[in-house]
Structure 1
């Protein structure tokens, strides 16, 4: 039997992570078995442990992959905003995140609302990946508050906290202090994730209430944007 090439092994690993990233967001990590996952990836169960020591290791990888994918898409979206657009880039982000499409498609959406419960129930390995993804979102939101556009031409994980701080401090004399920017970013992220969680939770039974939460979260984020420094 010919040995599998290194490229084929890497491709198979990627297929498993891609499948897990979607299935975990749609159904929950604890609701997806290895047999089901490997079948969806087009591979056999026996091959799973050639790539991962445990399911926990895959949950952590899938969580990181989902955040990376979302942040790349967000950066591409921000990069395509017309510089002359009068709508603040952070408001564009809120409209995109708190949208009907995102509400209806959790399997390909932000992992923050879909994997929060899973991360809480899993080990520090998964929670570390979840926390890192949240930090990337916060850095993006902080940059948007001052520059109007994220650093979309760089990979999501390329900018460390010191890089972001330099960007913010050079963003203009009327910008809020870094501590205030951080607090506003946390507040914004709570509204994004919390608004989406509740909107999805009542969507079929009470669609008007679901819409009310999406709109309410968007409006509150607009208020954060308009809030003067200090």
Structure 2
């Protein structure tokens, strides 16, 4: 039976969504293409009509997951009254306890930070592109009129702190929830004071 273009696009989207969720929960190396197909309710044949291999799937799934999550944050940040409000939106979304406690939620920059280094160039490129896009969004939300190089450096620092704080908080949450919560709150306070300069 021939699949329509519309159905093919829906199949690809289902595969991207399934892969993105599974990769964030279990890591890229912890998930096989059979797991992705099962989650999406599709066959291996459907997967390989859209992706050349698992690395291609991982790169596209990463980009898709980032765009979906970052798009929501960017829209929310842009809807605020002034730059300070939009930076607060980034901090709210990226340092959320709900996101911390559910690996399937949140930015794939956090859930795949260390693992991406063990993947191929396509996955690394998707990661680098996502970092650059998030940095640009944070940079646009920063208050003040500092030179662009200074704003970009501060935005890089903010993004690195957001990703690092969430990774550390997730790592210790089962052992010491109070300390894990404190890490997120403390990093938020430091970032707010840095951005206010």
Q: 1:156 maps to what in 2?
A: none
Matched, 1:218 2:188: yes
- Runs of at least 4 residues of structure 1 off by over 6 A? none
User: What are the superposed Cα offsets for residues 38-90 of structure 1, whole Å, 9 maximum, x if unpaired?
Assistant: 01100122332222110010000011001111121012212333x28x96321
The answer to whether the 8 Å contact 2:19/2:58 transfers is yes
1:74 to 2:63 alignment: no
Match status 1:188 vs 2:158:
yes
More helix per residue: 1 or 2? 2
Distance 1:89 1:145 in 2: 8
- Give unmatched runs, 5+ long, in structure 2: none
* 2:95 corresponds to 1:98: yes
Instruction: For 1:75 and 1:121, locate their aligned partners in 2 and report how far apart those are by CA, in whole Å.
Output: 29
**SS at structure 1 position matched to 2:183:** helix
The answer on whether the counterparts of 1:63 and 1:111 sit within 8 Å (CA) in structure 2 is yes
Distance 1:79 1:34 in 2: 37
TM-score scaled by length of structure 2: 0.94
Which residue does 1:169 correspond to in 2?
A: none
2:176 aligns with: 206
- Is the 1:91–1:221 Cα contact (8 Å) retained in structure 2? no
Structure 1 runs not aligned, ≥5 long: 147-173
Which residue is equivalent to 1:21?
20
| Contact 1:21–1:66 (8 Å) recurs in 2 | yes
Pairwise CA RMSD: 1.6
Q: How many residues align?
A: 197
Write the distance in 1 (CA, Å) between the matches of 2:90 and 2:7.
37
Alignment partner of 1:108: what SS? coil
CA distance in 2, matches of 1:106, 1:87: 28
Q: Normalization by structure 1: what TM-score?
A: 0.81
Q: For the pair shown, which has the larger CA radius of gyration, 1 or 2?
A: 1
